[in-house]
Amino acid sequence: MCSEEQSNKERALKHQYAEVNGIRLHYVSVGTGRLIIFLHGFPEFWYQWRNQLEEFGRDYHAVAPDMRGYNLSSKPAEVNQYEVKHLVEDVLALVYHLGYEKFFLVGHDWGGVVAWAFAISHPDLVEQLIVINAPHPRVFTRELRENPDQQKASRYILRFCSPEAEKILSSNKFAMLIDAVLTERLKNGYLTEKDLSAYLEAWSKPGALSGGLNYYRAAFMGPLNNGREQVAGNFAPYLSSHIINVPTLVIWGEKDEVLLTDNLKGLEGFVSDLTIKRIPEGSHWVIHEKPVLINAFIREFIEKKG
């Protein structure tokens, strides 16, 4: 076997499970070395990070879990089991399970929400933080209270918190989710029919759709509802501080229709060491659209800072 074939074999993805924080967490890992963990958002699963696992598995121990409620991980029935504090503890327990005390943390969407909260709670464990299209809790609170455009863009959260959400999103073979996440990227060649099948299989797992929606329900987060402030943007109210004291890279697809670029305004007031990379042509799903650029931004940041 030639050295390249041997190297590829050694970098084969490993599907594993960890009993952590009272649940069973499925995760995919590849490579050896310093640990880098990738946290997905809604309605994704570990598969969102397949390009990053391939890239960083070459010289890091790259790990992407199915977060609780998703795909092959445990799906607690109680909504309060999806509060951010529990999601943070899942990541903490996984890091210790893997045998590390320091790691690089990358998150998108809800994974980014958890990444913000983790870095606030455990700054001594995070070497560098990378957040992709996910708002800081204090900034998002401001935007939901003061920015009519963000309030309008966040109206979908009210639908996601409704009792009818599962029926709406799963109807016509998940047509709404397919249209929101996959259709445009399938059309442009960023995703394939194989990718579509993988997502449909993950969404079809019993309890998986409710698990993802319970993140919204547990956070009690969203825009004004009939003139009354139903919820706020602070998805981690249990934290006494919202200051980030680790080097942080924020990557933002500027065509994001649900999380507007105003979420970047004033961010430097909460992050002591902040780098922002904007991708003008990227949407909320920029990870699928620009994987090579995303990988380059992450690698440049962690190798320069690390």
Average pLDDT over residues 125-131: 98
Average pLDDT rounded to a whole number, residues 83-102: 97
9 pLDDT above the threshold of 90? no
Q: What is the pLDDT of residue 225?
A: 59
Reply yes or no on whether the pLDDT at 266 is more than 60: yes
Q: Helix, strand or coil for residue 108?
A: strand
- What confidence tens digit (pLDDT) does each residue in 218-230 have? 987 666 555 545 5
- The pLDDT value given to residue 271: 97
d(CA 62, CA 5): 20
Query: Percentage of residues in the chain with pLDDT exceeding 90?
Result: 86
Q: Which stretch of DSSP H or E encloses residue 130?
A: strand 126-132
At residue 287, what are phi and psi to the nearest 5 degrees? -60, -40
Residue pair 135/111 in contact (Cβ under 8 Å)? The answer is: no
Asked if the model's pLDDT at residue 33 lies above 60, the reply is: yes
Write out the residue range of the structural domain in which residue 239 sits.
3-305
pLDDT at residue 7 in the model: 46
CA distance 85 to 235: 10
The proportion of the chain whose per-residue pLDDT surpasses 70, expressed as a percent, equals 91
Q: In this structure, what CATH number is given to the domain that contains residue 116? A: 3.40.50.1820
Mean predicted confidence (pLDDT) in 115-139: 96
Q: Flag whether pLDDT at 134 surpasses 60.
A: yes
pLDDT of residue 291: 98
Backbone φ and ψ of 128, nearest 5°: -145, 150
Q: Report the catalytic residues.
A: 109, 216, 284
Tell me the pTM: 0.94
For residue 231, the model assigns a pLDDT of: 52
Q: Each residue of 149-193: pLDDT tens digit?
A: 999 999 999 899 999 999 999 999 999 999 999 999 999 999 999
Name the average pLDDT for the chain: 92
Phi-psi region at 18: left, alpha or beta (left = phi > 0; alpha = psi -120 to 50): beta
Number of structural domains, the chain?
Answer: 1
Residue 227 neighbours by CB under 8 Å, 6+ apart: none
If pLDDT is split at 50, 70 and 90, which confidence band does 10 have?
Answer: very low
Neighbouring C-beta atoms of residue 269, cutoff 10 Å: 13
pLDDT in tens, 190-218: 999 999 999 999 999 999 999 999 999 99
Which pLDDT score is estimated for 306? Answer: 58
264: helix, strand or coil: helix
Q: Which residue has the higher pLDDT, 92 or 224?
A: 92
Among the listed ranges 108-117, 178-187, 228-237, 250-259, which one has the minimum average pLDDT value? 228-237
Name the residue among 164, 160, 179, 281 with its Cα closest to residue 223. Answer: 160
